[in-house]
Amino acid sequence: MPEVLTAPLVVEFPFTRSLGPVQSAFLTGLRERVVLGVRGSDRRVLVPPAEYDPVTAGELRELVEVAPTGTVTTWAWNHAPRKGQPLTTPFAWVLVRLDGADTALLHALDAPGPDTVRTGMRVRIRWAAERTGAITDIACFEPYDAAPAPGTAPLTHHTGEFTDPVTGIVTPARLRVHTAGSVGGSTALVAARVHRTVLAVAFEKSPTPCGGCPCRSPSSSRCWPAPAASSPRMCAPTSGAAAPPTPSAPSSPTRTGATR
């Protein structure tokens, strides 16, 4: 069985986004330990707030403050947290509908085990010690014994104005890919990547003539890339022939015959 090689490929870049008035108010509010939602055209309160109405697609601007306590609507236990997740010990991913909101917020719940988590349980926000204006200002949720107040508590209108508001965010984006080689050229390319060498590979055979080549070669030929953008692609036979030399620039036409 041929050896199959693999090579990691990491693509990483900072994702930068400017914030509009709604998201700026939401993230700045978290820094100040205030949770803001936005009221939609159907009078529902959306948390996290949306910039555009999910019903009418119109812009939303009516901000309201909701409570830092809420109810778990659904959950899933995470027995092996990964690097970069909110907690380093096993925890539950939960959707929490904060008191005063009509939608749920996804975050982590710090609980001793899955047996202690249930739909309908009461939780509250545990704020991060250092807050910068990001969703991580909510360190996690924690169990909370107090029952919600009967009826619907009146929501507090909020202007969304804060001192030194957050106007943009930078989030590192990271993608890890493992490339697996197959028999032939792919394995050679992966091996070259592992050993940090560079390979040049000819194009595979085409069952039809090369549409980009001026000679319209038959299927028994391989097409070589042109040496320059201004030069046409050239073809070479498959019987071990080398690539054709770089074509020289055409010379100026010679006038023949008598001049008048």
d(CA 253, CA 81): 73
| Residue 198 forms part of a structural domain | no
| Residue 35 forms part of a structural domain | yes
Q: What is the number of structural domains in the chain?
A: 1
User: Do residues 89 and 112 lie in contact, with contact meaning Cβ atoms separated by under 8 Å?
Assistant: no
d(CA 199, CA 154): 68
| Residue 1 forms part of a structural domain | no
| Residue 243 forms part of a structural domain | no
- Looking at residue 174, its amino acid is R
d(CA 205, CA 217): 11
Question: Which pair of structure tokens corresponds to residue 210?
Answer: 């090369």
Domain that holds residue 60: 20-166
| Residue 202 forms part of a structural domain | no
Q: Identify the segments of the chain with pLDDT beneath 70.
A: 1-4, 149-154, 180-260
| Residue 93 forms part of a structural domain | yes
* pTM recorded for the entire structure: 0.64
Candidates 200, 250, 244; CA nearest to 230 is 250
100-148 residue pLDDT tens? 999 999 999 999 999 999 999 999 999 999 999 999 999 999 999 877 7
| Residue 141 forms part of a structural domain | yes
230-249 residue pLDDT tens? 444 444 444 454 555 555 55
| Residue 38 forms part of a structural domain | yes
